[in-house]
Amino acid sequence: MEQQSKLRKHLQELPTVDNHPSDLLSWDPSKTRQLLSGMGVALMDKEVDDTENTPHDMFFGCLSPPPKRQKCRDRKSENAFVIARRPRQNRRLEPGVLWESIPDELLLGIFFFLPLTDLLKASLVCKRWHRLVYDESLWHSIDLADKTLNPGAISHVLSAGVVAIRCPRSFIGETMFKDSRPLRLQHADLSNCQMTISALEDIFSRCRKLVNLSLEGMVLSDDIIRCIGHNSGLRRLNLCGCSGFTAEALEVMITSCTRLEELNLSWCDFTPDHIQVAANNISESLTQLNLSGYRQNLLQSDVQTIIKRCRKLINIDFSDSVMLTSDCLALFHELDNLQHLSLSRCYHIPSTALT
């Protein structure tokens, strides 16, 4: 009876229905223990950090459906109660391959397959790429045949460490070298280029390692010829159709280039002095010689001097030398290594003498 009277007393303290609807949802947690103790139910003491739900939380927790992914709602379900899934924590993304982590050797291998125009564009990306683009391994050989190079372009290319360059029939602007250090150039073909003499002088004044050089059809100067003579290791020289230099400069060049093996001096703007200088100072290591095109200037005495000096000749071309006679044929028999002899349009040598 005593317990029932206590319960009746507590029920009288509950809010009536006439109260405000918001008051119906309010609950004093301190009355929970009194209410349940009056009903003979004992409560366990909570720990300070206990996260056990209150009766109000437990009630809504029992009614809540399992979490589902929120779907598109239509107008009828706009007011429906939706519990969205708890967003997942962003996974830690592992960094991919960065350009900075790629070694220089691998980038150089990629740059090796780029054409010249794309290679120059790649040099503008960053400082590291600019340094790698102008690595000497990428500038070993350059082909600029039939191109038009703006002023400063040729010096920019050669300063990158080019070893072999080929640019016949190209238009090359003035040079703009930033320093006076020597070039690494060893093989050069500038045949029939449109280029000023000052630009050529600026280039060859920096060359000391030339091995193969072709300047066919170019207008040269004494300074250029003397600069070519500074390359003591020169093996092949093609000056076919060149002009603009004296016999004195030619003598300096020929006497300096003692390792010449192939020499082409055909159809140059030569006087008899040029021919005599070439015959008297030609390298003894010569194996191929072309002196064609000198109708009145190449004499039989010059041929005799050449054959006595150059005993290793294999190929000889004395075409269009009308001053030669059949008497010089006996001189050619002295050359043990001779394989090819051209005497085209040497009209004083009858065809019967060649049989």
Q: What is the pLDDT of residue 59?
A: 40
Task: Please list the alpha-helical segments (H only) found in 184-271.
Answer: 197-204, 222-229, 247-256
Query: Per the structure block, which two tokens stand in for 235?
Result: 């093996």
**Across residues 292-299, what is the average pLDDT?**
93
Where are the domains positioned within the chain?
A: 103-138, 141-354
Query: Per the structure block, which two tokens stand in for 77?
Result: 């379900």
Q: What is the pLDDT of residue 140?
A: 86
Of 24-38, 62-76, 131-145, minimum mean pLDDT range: 62-76
**Across residues 130-154, what is the average pLDDT?**
87
Q: What is the pLDDT of residue 19?
A: 47
Q: What φ, ψ does residue 11 adopt, rounded to 5°? A: -70, -30
Q: What is the pLDDT of residue 14?
A: 52
C-alpha dist (Å) from residue 5 to 10, 13, 41: 9, 13, 16
**Across residues 32-38, what is the average pLDDT?**
60
Query: Per the structure block, which two tokens stand in for 80?
Result: 């429906």
Does the 103-138 domain belong in CATH 1.20.1280.50? yes
| Residue closest to 259 by CA, chosen among 212, 306, 201 | 212
- Taking the CB of residue 291, how many other CB atoms lie within 10 A of it? 27
| 8 Å CB contact between 232 and 260 | no
Q: What is the 3-state secondary structure (H, E, C) of 62-121?
A: HHCCCCCCCCCCCCCCCCCCCCCCCCCCCCCCCCCCCHHHCCHHHHHHHHCCCCHHHHHH
Contacts of 68 (CB under 8 A, 6+ apart): 83, 85
| 8 Å CB contact between 355 and 331 | no
Fold of 141-354: 3.80.10
Going 335 to 247 to 270 to 301, the CA torsion angle's sign is negative
Instruction: Round the average pLDDT of the chain to a whole number and report it.
Output: 81
Q: What is the pLDDT of residue 9?
A: 60
At 231-258, the pLDDT tens digits run 999 999 999 999 999 999 999 999 999 9
CA 149 and chain centroid, separation? 18
